[in-house]
Structure 1
Amino acid sequence: MKKRSAIKTDLFADEHHRKKIDALGDPLSEIESHIDFAALAAAVDTIAPRPVSPQGGRPPYPTETMIRILVLKRLYNLSDEQMEYQLLDRMSYKRFCGLSNATYIPDRTTVWSFENRIGEAGAKALFDGVSEQLLGKGFIARGGQIIDATLVPAPKQHNNREEKELIDQHAMPADWKPAKRRQKDLDASWTKKHGKSHFGYKLSINVDSKYKFIRQIETDTASTHDSQHFEKVIDPCNTSRDVYADKGYPSEAREAWLKEKGFRNQIQRKGKRNKALSACQQRRNQRIAKTRARVEHVFAAIEQMGGKLVRTVGQARASFAMTMMAASYNLKRLMYFRNARIEAF
């Protein structure tokens, strides 16, 4: 007697699976419904126009498709190799990128080349484009602005003392072969925080207290002090004049600058040697901390997206990755508010 198969097959199974995904709620479809990726692509093409090959051949993938791939890569913390595999394997990824019926799928080299082509300026255009669309949807910066910085680790470099001395002098050991040079990050730097050494880069952000969207960013190497980016990430568009920051930012010059620009100084006080903070100053710090702590929620959300580690080599590519972190976080934050509004109704 012929044994029956335990699994029912159907020529239209893929279509059934798509409908099932829609019924369960595809988060990528939600992003697509609220973000104009064509507008983001146009902004990137203005910064880094698509190349035209005089020899003909297969044209490059549409910029919009590649931008969607970069968003997936950062939202789910995927390497270029993993991104290629998931595009081949996952139905929802292919649909989101418009590749459901495509004969060819962008491979790891294509993703890497596109990132190199648009560079840090292209990533900033994406971040600014997302920010502009947030404003268009009514998410205006409100409640004051919170400024803070976080360390972004990079793969540690194992160099001997002589090599380190040469690198500090902006030189490179003569015996390093080209393949080894490509793997050496000569831009990342070391710093100490809470008694521990860290190697990598620094991301400074400005978050509005009302919605916790990232409004301004600045990137640098880890050894740069947090306070160096303060004025660069100030957001003049916040409807509140309050500026919050922790004890790493206060100075008399900064307090005078804030007063001159019409901002209210909500930076925590820091005690000095042989001069502890008064009870009034401590109460002020505690009051500020309740609002300032909201920026830590942003860093925690980025960690949940896969962590802040950059796998790249060099400051330019690290800045690209950190800018994409911020843009992708804002997209995820937008989905939180959209879902909350839907549930409210």
Structure 2
Amino acid sequence: MDQYTLGLDPLPKKTRKEVFLEEMNQVVPWATLVALIAPFARGAHQALGGRPPFPIETMLRIHCLQLWWNLSDPAMEEELHERPLYRRFAGLDGAARMPDETTILRFRHLLEKHQLAPQVLAAINTGLAQQGLMLKTGTIVDATIIAAPSSTKNKAGERDPEMHQTKKGNQWHFGMKAHIGVDADSGLVHTVIGTAANVNDVTQAAGLLHGKEKHAWGDAGYQGVDKRQEMQGSKAKAKAKIKWHVAMRPGKRKALDANRELHKLLEKVERLKASVRAKVEHPFRVIKQQFGYAKLRYRGLQKNTARLTMLFALGNLWMARKRIMALQG
């Protein structure tokens, strides 16, 4: 039997995308980020045949949409034409024209040229710290491999020369590594470093510390980090005082005897270390699963590191959104 609506439209239901964009619209400090970008954006879009440039906030919102749904520049242009939801979020609802893929690309290049991604991360983290969401008393360090296209079917006929392969377990991976320093209390990222995949994790540990922490945690790949040259000397006094809690090597831990009291205590210590280190995996999950960035889109470390830094900055806001909205009332 057909159902009659009596001329009434069905009740609207918010999709997950609508809820996501409403929450991010509330927690992203748009005014702060626009003020950060504005000095570098003057005259950046004058090559549009005399047409007025789009507002910086509009382009920033479009760039965020690209990051959240892992869209290329042409795909982003098409999405703006097809999705009213995206146009409303970018402030283009009812606009006479839409940014084309070249305009979107130029804005991305603007951020890359002036290395604004680390400044965006710092600005966002400053706001989080002012709200008491980052304590900076401890840091967890870790790295993850981001795969790069290994095909040589391109104009140059070769793979990206800045990417390398590395072996993890019994499997080879080609790409880069994203090294991050995470606040041990909140699990929010405060430092991002991009390297080729074959770079050893422990070599980047010193660069992942902000110098104000008293404790640092790392997995077994950071064994001997406190004895490295970059952690010693007068220039690294603050970092030299940090107490490191590094995981035991898997082979050594496997050899522990469960019947010996000392070995039982050592196993408990390792579990406590692991419980703290677990927080570092959440930002990686957000980047790879929530934002879908499981494979590199561009060639070169600089472009990909800038994209990853922006992703981790927005990921911090996503992870802390409930607490930020609660503080905003």
Q: Within the alignment, does 1:296 sit opposite 2:275 as a pair?
A: no
Contact 1:94 1:100 in 2 (8 A): yes
* Corresponding residue SS for 2:53: coil
Q: Which residue of 1 aligns with 2:92?
A: 99
AA aligned to 2:110 is R
* Corresponding residue SS for 1:206: strand
Give 1:137's match in structure 2, choosing from 131, 138, 145.
Answer: 131
AA aligned to 1:222 is A
Q: Which residue of 2 aligns with 1:108?
A: 101
Give 1:312's match in structure 2, choosing from 292, 298, 305.
Answer: 298
**Do the aligned partners of residues 98 and 182 (structure 1) sit closer, same or farther apart at CA in structure 2, a change above 3 Å counting?**
farther
The count of aligned residue pairs is 309
Q: Which residue of 2 aligns with 1:193?
A: 168
Q: Within the alignment, does 1:123 sit opposite 2:117 as a pair?
A: yes
Q: State the Cα RMSD in Å.
A: 3.5
Quote how far apart the aligned CAs of 1:189 are.
Answer: 1.1
TM-score by length of 1: 0.77
TM-score by length of 2: 0.81
Quote how far apart the aligned CAs of 1:308 are.
Answer: 2.7
Distance (whole Å) between structure 1 residues aligned to residue 309 and residue 106 of structure 2: 17
Q: Which runs of 5+ in 2 are unaligned?
A: 257-261
Give 1:242's match in structure 2, choosing from 215, 222, 239.
Answer: 215
* Corresponding residue SS for 2:167: strand
**Do the aligned partners of residues 327 and 50 (structure 1) sit closer, same or farther apart at CA in structure 2, a change above 3 Å counting?**
farther
Q: Which residue of 2 aligns with 1:219?
A: 194
* Corresponding residue SS for 1:243: strand
Q: Which residue of 2 aligns with 1:210?
A: 185
Distance (whole Å) between structure 2 residues aligned to residue 235 and residue 329 of structure 1: 19
Quote how far apart the aligned CAs of 1:31 are.
Answer: 2.2
Contact 2:176 2:196 in 1 (8 A): yes
Q: Which residue of 2 aligns with 1:268?
A: 247
Contact 1:245 1:268 in 2 (8 A): yes
Distance (whole Å) between structure 1 residues aligned to residue 7 and residue 96 of structure 2: 28
AA aligned to 2:69 is Y
Quote how far apart the aligned CAs of 1:183 are.
Answer: 8.0
Q: Which runs of 5+ in 1 are unaligned?
A: 1-5, 160-178
Contact 1:35 1:133 in 2 (8 A): no
Residues 1-345 of structure 1 correspond to what in structure 2 (within 5 A)?
Answer: 21=14, 26-47=19-40, 49-51=42-44, 53=46, 57-119=50-112, 121-142=115-136, 144-158=138-152, 180-181=155-156, 184-238=159-213, 241-251=214-224, 253-254=227-228, 257=232, 261-270=240-249, 279=263, 281-305=266-290, 306-338=292-324, 341=326
Quote how far apart the aligned CAs of 1:21 are.
Answer: 4.9
Contact 1:44 1:125 in 2 (8 A): no
Identity of aligned residues (%): 28
Distance (whole Å) between structure 2 residues aligned to residue 9 and residue 182 of structure 1: 60
Q: Which moved more, 1:316-325 or 1:218-227?
A: 316-325
Quote how far apart the aligned CAs of 1:52 are.
Answer: 6.3
* Corresponding residue SS for 1:265: strand
Distance (whole Å) between structure 2 residues aligned to residue 312 and residue 25 of structure 1: 28
Contact 1:47 1:122 in 2 (8 A): no
Q: Which residue of 1 aligns with 2:259?
A: none
Distance (whole Å) between structure 1 residues aligned to residue 107 and residue 157 of structure 2: 18
